[in-house]
Chain A
């Protein structure tokens, strides 16, 4: 139709979550989570926050976080979010930096235990709106 505006191209959905949280180095060295230390008061947080919740400092230094932590608790989920394949496993991982990370766990259901050591890995967590997997941080058993 003459004069009609060209249809706006739909922006592709994300396939990586999220550069502020996870670094996957191009040189093949191991991935790491990104902590943020407040330049004003020194508090370390993950994920990145708009303001330091303690002193409202606005500037942070990025600190690579430990790749290994302790699995505080976990759940084998058989009923999940709409559109997500089940079962999947979620867990809380406590890092030595006094931070707790909520993440999906890579492994089999009924295989994890509280207080076991787990390590960071990278893998698909869900499909995006275009049906392409989104890559993010996950944890797995050490040496698995």
Chain B
């Protein structure tokens, strides 16, 4: 989506991701009120549209979430369902409203409580009207088929996949909202319960509850709200996935490839310029595929990429959202660009801070302000779900 005018992120909010006793709407209000506060919004009639991404919690979820915030009937609330990318899709739509000039301030929210409502020990599926679902199709199995083919063609091992969990848990260590973090060995990952060979339990994202909210606004509103360090949205791309019923290569991903390319073109920011990437790694194999699809490394080099990254881990930007998304920093970039290497290394020690300078350590990685010695930080957020995808590039100014 080509942005018609500049759009900025004014503020964000996020709950920790784990099992919650609070239902989706209470979790959502937790994130929303935080996002409003960090955007310096202090009355109910400022936000002009809101989108809620939710996949499994029923009807009119957005209206339920906003019911007692005094914002009902002051703006449209539109509910968005797109499985894993529902929240990202909601943010995309909020960006679209502001970019098109329909609104000056909009909100994108994602809120979900799975564990209060679903049977434990079962896997996610699309609707039963899907022929593959009737025949036992589950997301865990489908990604395992990708992994099995990847092993067959590239000679990858289950340990190669496990390394990604080890890296991501380490990256998540300093994220206060991450669920799974800290040290874990390759052996522990490999020996955890088998979900669908070769994906073991620790290679699959946990079924977590939580919420995140983003306030986006126009340049004029940045001034009116007094946002000190706004984040400019450099681009946002969504597409639906193609219909597949013929042989194709599943060691790649056409949706991620197409949207990444479009985003790089529209934003003028290439993959080599991305400082921080939040990548949708629902399963370890997914992350491995996306390295190549997003142009982080050459076709065929994906397997070498995480090993190389692990070497540079101590210098990599730390943190991870909810313990299920990878956060990368391109190490080869720092190496290749010699002159300011020291500065870049320093930049790799960010201090997490919410927009508006609250100094709180809470917030979502992808929407978060990073205070660094580098003047500009280019961040990329990626979400992928079945037949849909969102890629957004965030360019921090200041």
Contact residues of A with B, CB < 8 Å? 17-18, 21, 45-47, 53, 72-82, 84, 88, 90-92, 94, 98-100, 102-104, 109-110, 114-115, 125-126, 134, 136
If over half of A's interface residues share one DSSP class (helix, strand or loop), that class is named, otherwise mixed; here it is: strand
In the assembled complex, the CB of B67 is this many whole angstroms from the nearest CB of chain A, namely 30
Contact surface of B with A, Cβ cutoff 8 Å: 119, 121-123, 125, 131-138, 140-142, 144-146, 148-149, 152, 193-197, 243-248, 250
Q: With A and B bound together, what is the CA distance between A84 and B141 in angstroms?
A: 14
Q: Is A73 touching B141 in the complex (CB atoms < 8 A)?
A: no
Q: Are B152 and A80 in contact (CB under 8 A)?
A: no
Task: Enumerate chain B residues within 8 angstroms of A73, measured Cβ to Cβ.
Answer: 145-146, 148-149, 152, 250
Does A80 contact B247, Cβ atoms closer than 8 Å? no
Indicate if the CB atoms of A75 and B144 lie closer than 8 Å.
yes
Q: Are A102 and B132 in contact (CB under 8 A)?
A: yes
Residues of chain A with a CB closer than 8 A to B146's CB: 73
How far is the CB of A72 from the nearest CB of chain B, in Å? 7
Q: Which chain A residues lie closer than 8 Å to B123 at the CB level? A: 77, 79-81
A79 touches B138 (CB 8 A): yes
Given the known inter-chain contacts A21-B131, A53-B243, A75-B145, please indicate yes or no for A81 contacting B196, CB distance below 8 A: no
Query: Given the complex, which residues of A lie within 8 Å of B195, measured CB to CB?
Result: 77-79
Q: Is the CB of B196 within 8 A of A125?
A: no
Q: How far is the CA of A134 from the CA of B195 in the complex (A)?
A: 25
In the complex with contacts A76-B196, A100-B244, A100-B248, A92-B145 CB distance below 8 A = yes
Contacting residue for A98 out of B194, B196, B243, B247, CB 8 A: B247
The residue on A at minimum CB distance from B123 is A79
Given A47-B245, A82-B122, A100-B244: A72 touches B138 (CB 8 Å cut-off): no
